[in-house]
Structure 1
Amino acid sequence: MSDAVIQISISPQDEEKFRKEHYTKVQGDLNSGTEGKPMFIWYKKESLSSINRIQFSFRPEMDAGLTAAGFKKINKNLNARTKGDPIFLWYMSDTTESDVSIVDLRVTISVTDEPILFKSGWERLGCNLNRGADGHPVYLWVKWNKQTYISDIRGSESFTLDTDNFNTGFFRVDQNTNGGAKSTLVFLWYQRTTDADASGMTALGVSLCADDEDHLKKKHFVKVDTNLHGGHTPCGNGVYLWYKPGETSKIQYFTVLVGEEARRVYKEHGCNVVEKNLSGCGFTPLYIAYYVE
């Protein structure tokens, strides 16, 4: 019997095997809307609380930092038998002061199902598991055993500091913000705290030009000093995330929305969406959505 906490089924034989080994199936086909065969996530219910980190990789360069930080890779491509990018799930347990346990998992295959989860304490992990496959938007969601608050945000323009970021309790939002660039990938990272009395963040903003920066400074926002387009500025300006420090109505989590439909649906359901397109000219629109306590 396997001691893995999380498994991926790629056949009816896998499903039967995991049932016999008392795994719980997460409904939601990871290949939904593609020609790929059905794939599902399974987990050991009694062991799930030992897991407090899940990340994804979709470029070989992402493996080194995850491995060095102690993540365990499930060596099954979540985009198998599709034209999409090879995607792998990684998970781990850790002991930094910001780590909390996962108590439940969900998968969504339609953006219309997302806002109700987003507003009810479920955190959406950043990677579309149909990335590049032209299928339905498939996302994994996690439920934590404790309420947490974002205490720090940073960005990265290379993979050299990945291990350090993971080891100090940072989570990577696994969505490249660098427009449609295939070379330099830029990611946002956040660190969380369980301390409700610690300094927090009450709002997020995005600047695309000097006027945006002046506006956010006047409202006492703080700039995250990483250009989300890296050195690539297709419309002539850097793109930056900003946050507003505060003690009340603290942000618990945020994610990057892909496409105009996601922005519209989240807004219609009353979610906090920063309506500044991160991706610049000519690329699929990207927006920041965040949840405030």
Structure 2
Amino acid sequence: MASKYITEIAISTTREMDQQLHDQDYDKINVNLNLGTSSTTRVYIWYKKGNGKPITRVQFSFTAEMKDVLKKAGFTELPENLNPGTQGDVIQLWYSSGASPKYDIPIEDLFLTTNEQEEAHQFKLGWERLPCNLNRSNSGDFITLWLKRKSKTYICDVAAATSFQQHIDLSKEGYIRLDEDLSRGSGGKPIFLWYRQSTTVGGGITEMNACINREQDSILVERGFTVVNVNLNEGTCGQPVYVWFKKDGSLPIKALTVTSNPDVTGPYDEAGLILIDRNLNAGNSGMPLYLWYGK
């Protein structure tokens, strides 16, 4: 009997590659990743379900340092640029078949969205959003990849990293990186937020918040929150920004994502997601970025 889980992912950028992958029994996600750009290259994601090790993590790179981290963490690199023929960032897809039964949950399906209404609907269906815009830094459509896992998952831990050695350590500990630089455009050092998933309901994160001044700090401490002890504005002229989380025994959160797209607010609200209404680039010239979570 065929496996229910995805074991291989591939990228096509030519009709010849399309035919080769089709002949090898890959399934195509029929969304051109260059949608909305002036590029004539059509780029598609393909996947295959087989009897090998199931893929449990998918990440993207858009800098040389991110590539280096994923290589050292043992991820498989797909060499194709997902953004060819545009002025956007060089984006590559990487995947891993982690073996930790506690944190590595097999992926059984992939989906691409091209607008905010689609995104909100996917949240409602329990899909996991990878926040890297696959048209990052160009004028094309805002395209994001989504994962469907074998089991319902909950966010059990969050962390932030300012050094790429920390990235390697967190990846090896089962954390998944939100692939958007939280200091984007600010001139500060790259900072990324990470989360870890579990299929266990108990002990998960039940609420999240962020603060941009000391008065907010004390209020969150009184409410039982714990700080992620990394200033997300480190190295910038902006005010200190910290993310906080709470574990109180109630139903844990299932979704955590970051977005730079202001158009998601209405659809995300309607889908029941909760906005942490603090710009993670407060007080600097960087791109406004916001965290959302959902139960």
2:49 match: secondary structure: coil
- How many Å apart are 1:227 and its aligned residue? 0.9
What is the CA deviation profile of residues 199-251 of structure 1, one whole-angstrom value per residue up to 9, with x for unaligned ones?
111111111112222232222111111111222142xx211111111222201
> 2:72 is matched with which residue: 68, 90, 96?
68
- How many Å apart are 1:160 and its aligned residue? 1.6
Q: 1:274 to 1:49 in 2, by over 3 A?
A: farther
Distance 2:234 2:116 in 1: 28
Distance 1:243 1:161 in 2: 20
Segment of structure 1 superposing worse, 272-281 or 45-54: 45-54
2:16 match: secondary structure: helix
Query: 2:35 aligns to what?
Result: 32
- Given that 1:202 and 1:250 are in contact with CA atoms closer than 8 Å, whether structure 2 keeps it comes out as yes
Number of equivalenced pairs: 286
What is the CA deviation profile of residues 75-100 of structure 1, one whole-angstrom value per residue up to 9, with x for unaligned ones?
00011111001010000101123111
Give unpaired runs (5+ residues) of structure 2. 1-6
> 1:147 is matched with which residue: 126, 144, 152?
152
Distance 2:137 2:179 in 1: 14
Segment of structure 1 superposing worse, 47-56 or 214-223: 47-56
- How many Å apart are 1:264 and its aligned residue? 3.4
Runs of 4+ in structure 1 over 6 Å off: none
Query: 2:216 aligns to what?
Result: 212
Query: 2:14 aligns to what?
Result: 11
Q: 1:191 to 1:270 in 2, by over 3 A?
A: closer
> 1:284 is matched with which residue: 272, 282, 287?
287
Identity of aligned residues (%): 35
- Given that 2:188 and 2:234 are in contact with CA atoms closer than 8 Å, whether structure 1 keeps it comes out as no
> 2:127 is matched with which residue: 122, 130, 135?
122
Query: 1:240 aligns to what?
Result: 242
Q: Does the alignment pair 1:181 with 2:186?
A: yes
Distance 2:256 2:178 in 1: 9
Letter of the structure 2 residue corresponding to residue 279 of structure 1: N
Letter of the structure 1 residue corresponding to residue 254 of structure 2: Q
> 1:257 is matched with which residue: 250, 259, 262?
259
- How many Å apart are 1:47 and its aligned residue? 5.5
Distance 2:52 2:130 in 1: 16
Query: 2:205 aligns to what?
Result: 201
TM-score, scaled relative to structure 2: 0.92
Give unpaired runs (5+ residues) of structure 1. none
- Given that 1:179 and 1:280 are in contact with CA atoms closer than 8 Å, whether structure 2 keeps it comes out as no
Query: 1:192 aligns to what?
Result: 197
Q: 1:194 to 1:238 in 2, by over 3 A?
A: same
Q: Does the alignment pair 1:58 with 2:62?
A: yes
Q: 1:147 to 1:14 in 2, by over 3 A?
A: same
Distance 1:91 1:68 in 2: 13
- How many Å apart are 1:265 and its aligned residue? 2.8
Q: Does the alignment pair 1:228 with 2:232?
A: yes
- Given that 2:188 and 2:233 are in contact with CA atoms closer than 8 Å, whether structure 1 keeps it comes out as no
> 2:82 is matched with which residue: 78, 81, 84?
78
- How many Å apart are 1:183 and its aligned residue? 5.2
TM-score, scaled relative to structure 1: 0.92
CA RMSD between the two structures = 1.7
